[in-house]
Amino acid sequence: MRKVLYLFVLIGIVSCKKERVPVTPGNISIAEVVQANYKNNYTQEVSVQVGEENITISSTGLPDHKTPYWGRGHEMYEEFPGTNHANRNETMTSFNYKMTIPIYPNESKFKEETSLGPVGMAINGVPIYNDYEGGGVLQENAWSTFDASGGHPGPREDYHYHSEVAHLTVNDDNLIGFLRDGFPVYGRKDMDGTYPNDLDENGGHIGTTSDFSESIYHYHISNEAYSTSGLYVIKSGAYHGTKGTFTQ
């Protein structure tokens, strides 16, 4: 009886491992688009290295736009929008981020849920987070600390975005960045100026974009205002592909 039980457990483990194996690499390279778009116009600390199978994007994570989190007296300081205010982490610090993603991303058979921490990187090198903060979904105590670009620093003074980044996109089809599975994420609209009505449960669909003339899976910022915040979340749900690494 014990041997039979072990056999079932072993089969279950093997089955789970097989579920997580992605399908063969896609046929659309993201290398050229990544190289052309990743830059930081203020700190200049964003670089791209293309290998045989993967791309590594390095960044300090500091934004290239105004934010109150630069601190009063800084040339890039600006006041909070509306009634927003600083959180307990009033300043930002630089990191040595490295996000490694596949050159040819493809759908994974197992759709892994995004979790706390970086789920991608914006084209200016700032980490992208999902719709969770701390122990649960975003609440007013979190979004009331966002600057005008939908970002704020975490407990380690690690600046990041949760919602539509005014510095990069406002109700348009601009490229925002790439998630850890290698798929691009765009603003709320498709390149024809309409809001996509066929997004899957993870916020993406297949089609051409202003950067890709061949159809590729890509995410969109949600066009539904989040809760009572009036903000538009960049990412919720699972990854479409297999996530790469994000170190610091």
Question: What size, in residues, is the chain?
Answer: 248
How many helices (H) and strands (E) the chain has is answered by: 3, 14
On whether the CB atoms of residues 62 and 45 are closer than 8 A, the answer is yes
Q: Which of 74, 69, 73 is nearest to 91 (CA)?
A: 69
CA distance 59 to 178: 14
C-alpha–C-alpha distance, residues 81 and 147, integer Å: 6
Of 159, 144, 147, 123, nearest to 66 by C-alpha is: 147
Amino acid at 174: N
pLDDT (tens digit, 9 = 90+) per residue, 156-188?
899 999 888 888 988 999 999 999 999 999 999
Q: What is this structure's pTM?
A: 0.86
Q: Does residue 16 register a pLDDT over 50? A: no
Tell me what the mean pLDDT of segment 87-107 comes to.
93
- State how beta strands 46-50 and 120-122 pair: unpaired
The DSSP symbol for 195 reads P
- pLDDT > 90? residue 69: yes
Cα–Cα nearest to 186, from 221, 212, 211: 221
Name the residue type at position 86: A
pLDDT for residue 12: 47
Top pLDDT among 57 and 17 is at: 57
Report the distance separating Cα 80 and Cα 84, nearest Å.
6
Backbone angles phi, psi at 140, to 5 degrees: -60, -30
| Type of residue numbered 140 | E
Instruction: From 193, 181, 142, 184, select the one nearest 163 (Cα to Cα).
Output: 142
- Sign of torsion over alpha carbons 197, 202, 204, 206: negative
Residue-level pLDDT at 140: 61
Give the tokens for residue 212.
């890709």
Residue 228 is predicted with a pLDDT of 59
User: How would residue 15 be classed by pLDDT, with cut points 50, 70 and 90?
Assistant: very low
pLDDT: is 116 or 62 the higher one? 62
